[in-house]
Each structure stands twice: as structure tokens, then as C-alpha cells.
Chain A
Amino acid sequence: MKPKKIRHALTAATCGLLGVNSSDSLGEEGDWSFDSAVLYYSEVDRVTAVEPVISATRDFGEERALNLKFVFDTLSGASANGATPSDQPQTFTRPSGKGAYTAAAEETPLDDTFRDNRFALSSQWEQPINRDYKTAFGINFSTEYDYSSLSANANLSRDFNKRNTTLNTGLSLAYDTVNPEGNIPIGLSSMIIDNGQANYRSEFNATREDSEENKDILDLIFGLTQVIDRKTIMQVSYSFSDVSGYLTDPFKIVSVVGDDGRPLEYRYEQRPDARQKQSLYWQVKRQFETDILDLSYRYFWDDWGITSHTIDLRYRWILDGRHYLEPHIRYYDQSEADFYRRFLIQGESLPDHVSADYRLGNMQALTVGMRYGMALRNEQELSLRLEYYLQSNDNTESVIPGILNDVELYPDVEAIIVQLGFKF
């Protein structure tokens, strides 16, 4: 099918979803523009995600525009459950309570239960108030098997100094619901393993409480964008995020080990029910001759004790008028949450909050990659992105008992990211 026909078909489909008649309301052909991509993300031995996305934008003139975006994720694979490896095979109860999964001796315990599809729809409307003030409003909805999210946002921006300086402020409110199969585990309760005991089901049910939990998210952002010269633009912004409600991961556990390092039991993790996140972000973009440098830095901190630094550098190397290569490097460094523990040792008092989720630990991550872009006729563009992502965690436990010295407590996570994009 030719691109023009695809555009006609998508315009009709978009109008159908909006409940409007394309021939009446869309005006001239070409008013809609589309941007599409398919992302493939795959971790070695763990999660694989395939994520097609399409975005449609209609320019209504006078800086008014409507954007609609559809995302569909399919996720499969396995995810670290938080337990430590052991010199013996380990058995874990599935989150539903129906059946078990095992980890071989000396292997990082991975929960292979999860398989999910996620569908997300977002819409954004841009509307200027006058020459200097602009607004934007958006609504987002996403749903997956055991999780749903609804959010709304509003942005206001004001131009100064011949539009060389822009101040903007944004507000987003979100409401998320999680309802896992097998209900929500009681934080810090001990995982019941089915060893054939007659009352297994009632013992398992005693570790469960509500069937669903929620969280509320308030995000605020304040930004300043400044044109420096004909070829340079810069932005600084401050963001604040207040999250409250159920912030625990219902699928994660923590091993309680004996003096020999072998697991005695597994406790469901428990995180605080509130979190305030803040970040400062700086970005500069500059054109040199024809090439473009894009550099950004983010400093992030929260009241869980996590701080992080993120540096991101892209360089668009224009090969000729129609082709470019864009090398990309990103470095990320985070400190652990106050309640992060790789394991608990028998005899120590149970903390109020604990998680062994490696994503809350001391971590460094590196992304390196390359993007190739090719301009086609009629402002169409084809692009291919290939990246490698590596995460490494550091030990912060002061005592590592027994056999845990002989197993890999902090395995690296490696992933590849492939993205094919088409703008038309």
C-alpha cells in the first residue's frame, strides 16, 4: 500500500474513533501527520517487550493542534523476584497461589509467571490564549491485565523577549489501580509454599488482604527555555512528584537467610505508602555546521534516600541532505533506597519497610547505541535505532553470610533495544 493510501486509511480510522466525519471536518488532505514506531526490547534471559506505537497529529492552524497516541505492549519473560540464589534449588509460590516456580541451584530466582498486554491511549490539545500565552491539555489512559491508570494534565507557557524565552508550568494528576491475580500480599508476611499440606489454601489466603490497591500521583513541572543564539537552544526545569498509596511491588519478596546464607523463608516486600520525587533537568541543543549536538543532565532525589545522575549525549551526524547517523550514549548512576536490603538475616528485627528489588539498589547503567535516519519524499522519514543497555548493581550489605559469598548476588542485566520508525 502506498504511503498516501495508508494516510487516507489512518485518517478515516482516526476520525472513526473520534466520531467525526473525515470529509466534513478534516479540511485539506495532509492536515494529519503520522508518526509510528515498533520497539523491541529484550533482556538476556529475562523480559522481552514488543511495543508498536502510532501517533496522529492534526494541525488546526493558529497553533492549535490535536495529538492522539496509541501504544500496545506485549510483555513476556521472567523478572527477578528479589530472593537470593542458593546452593540448592528453590521453590516459590506463584503470585496467584496456584502452583509454584523453581530456581535452579546458584541461579538468580526469576518469576516467569508474568505475561501481559498493555494498551495505552493518550490525547493532547494545544490551544494558544493570545500571542504570548499557550495552553495544552491532555488525558491518558492505560490498561493491562492487573493494572490500570488514568491521568489528566494541563500546561501553561508564556513567551518573553521576542519569544526567545519561554516559561512553562505543568500539572498532572494520575490515579492508578493494581489488582493482581491472587490478591495483594500482606507486606512482610511469609510466603507459604505448597508442600502438600492439607490446609495450604487457607494458609495462603491468610497472607492476602485486599483484591486491589490504588495510588495517587501529583506531578508539577516548571521550565525555562532560552534561545541562546541562531544555532543554540537551552532548557532548565524543575519537577516535583508526590505519589501516595500502594507503592509496593506485590510480586517481590526478600529472602531471610540463616548464618550459613541459606534461605529459611521469604517475606513479601513492603515499601512506604508515600514518596516525593524531585528533579532538576538541563538540556542544550546546538547545531555545528550541519551536525546537531544534544546534551542533557538530570539530578534526581527523593525522600526514599535515592539520588541519581543521568547524562545523555546524542550527536546527529548529517551524512548528506537525506541521511544521518546519530550515536547515543547515556550514563545513569543511582544510590539505593534507605529500605533496600539484598537479604535479611535470621534474628535481626524485621524492619518496617524492606525491598530487595534491584531497581532500588545502588546501580549504574549504560546505554550505547546508534540511530540511522533516511528522509524520503513528501517529508516522510524512516529510521532504525539499535542500542545496548547494561545495568550493574553494587553490594552495600556489611555482612554476607556463608554460601552467599559463592553466588552471584548482583547479576548484571543486559538488554538490546531495536526501534523501527516511520513518519508520514
Chain B
Amino acid sequence: MYVCRFAAKYKDDESMSVKLFLVTVVVVLSLAGCANLGVEPWQRSVLAKPEMQLISDPLSAGLDDHIYFSKEASSGGRGFAGGGCGCN
């Protein structure tokens, strides 16, 4: 697992290790808890709509990411933090 490899690589940085541990716990617990959630395949009519996709408009999302990457110090989250511009 990448998480474990990174936890090992940055084991000197305690805060990072703690955060990574918490993330791992949340993911594992979520996965266990998630078994009780969800719908049957024939109940997906709403979820299958294009406007219900998590990124329903990839073009706008890409343009927004480019604006905020250029104008703020944070990036990434819903996708790769990326780069790719000199950005004034």
C-alpha cells in the first residue's frame, strides 16, 4: 500500500505519520461500515444521471482548478494538485 510506504518514508515526521494513520483508519472503518450502505443495481436511476456524477462538468472543474491554482497557494483535493503553468 502506498499509504504504508509513505508512512514509513516519513516516519520521522510525527505529525505526518499521525495524519496518515488517521486517514488509513477512516478509510478502513468507512469501508467496513460501507458494506451496509448502498442500493441495488435497479435503484440507480437518479445516481446514473450525468448531473449526479461527482464531477458533473469536468470542463468547468478544470477551468476552476486552473484559476484557483494560479491565484491561491493550495491545489488538489478532488484531483491531482498538478502544475503546468507559469501562472501570474
Is chain B found bound to chain A in the same assembly?
yes
Give chain A's interface residues, CB within 8 Å of chain B.
35-37, 39, 41, 47, 51, 53, 55, 69, 71, 75, 79, 114, 116, 118, 120, 140, 142, 144, 146-147, 149, 151, 153, 160-165, 167, 169-170, 172, 174, 176, 178, 215, 217, 219-222, 224-231, 233, 235-241, 243, 251, 277-281, 283, 285, 287, 292, 294, 296, 298, 300, 302, 304, 306, 308, 310, 316, 332, 334, 337, 359-360, 363, 365, 385, 389, 391, 413, 417, 419, 421
Give the CA-CA distance A79 to B56 in the complex, in Å: 33
Q: Which of B46-83 contact A (CB under 8 A)?
A: 46-47, 51-52, 54, 56-60, 62-63, 66-68, 71-83
Central interface residue in B52, B56, B59, B62, by most chain A CB within 10 Å: B59
Cβ-defined contact, B59 with A53, below 8 A = yes
Cβ-defined contact, A278 with B19, below 8 A = yes
Cβ-defined contact, A224 with B83, below 8 A = no
Give chain B's interface residues, CB within 8 Å of chain A.
2-3, 6, 16, 19, 23, 26-27, 30-31, 34-35, 37-41, 43-47, 51-52, 54, 56-60, 62-63, 66-68, 71-86, 88
Cβ-defined contact, B60 with A385, below 8 A = yes
Main SS class of interface, A: strand
Cβ-defined contact, B54 with A235, below 8 A = yes
Chain A hits for B81, CB < 8 A: 217, 219, 239, 241, 277, 279
Further pairs besides A222-B23, A226-B30, A334-B74: 7, Cβ < 8 Å: A116-B88, A149-B83, A161-B37, A233-B47, A239-B80, A278-B16, A413-B71
Cβ-defined contact, A222 with B27, below 8 A = yes
Q: Pick the residue among B23, B31, B67, B88 that contacts A160 (CB under 8 A).
A: B31
Cβ-defined contact, B47 with A227, below 8 A = yes
A53-B63, A224-B31, A233-B54 known; A144 and B37 CB under 8 Å?
Answer: no
Q: Pick the residue among A71, A163, A236 that contacts B30 (CB under 8 A).
A: A236
Give the CA-CA distance A408 to B37 in the complex, in Å: 54
Q: Pick the residue among B27, B40, B80 that contacts A153 (CB under 8 A).
A: B80
Q: Pick the residue among A219, A285, A302 that contacts B80 (CB under 8 A).
A: A219
Chain B hits for A55, CB < 8 A: 58-59
A279-B76, A285-B52 known; A174 and B47 CB under 8 Å?
Answer: no
Q: Pick the residue among B30, B38, B60 that contacts A164 (CB under 8 A).
A: B38
A144-B86, A219-B82 known; A241 and B77 CB under 8 Å?
Answer: no
A228-B37, A236-B26 known; A178 and B86 CB under 8 Å?
Answer: yes
Closest CB in chain B relative to A248 CB, distance in Å = 12
Give the CA-CA distance A114 to B63 in the complex, in Å: 21
Give the CA-CA distance A153 to B2 in the complex, in Å: 16
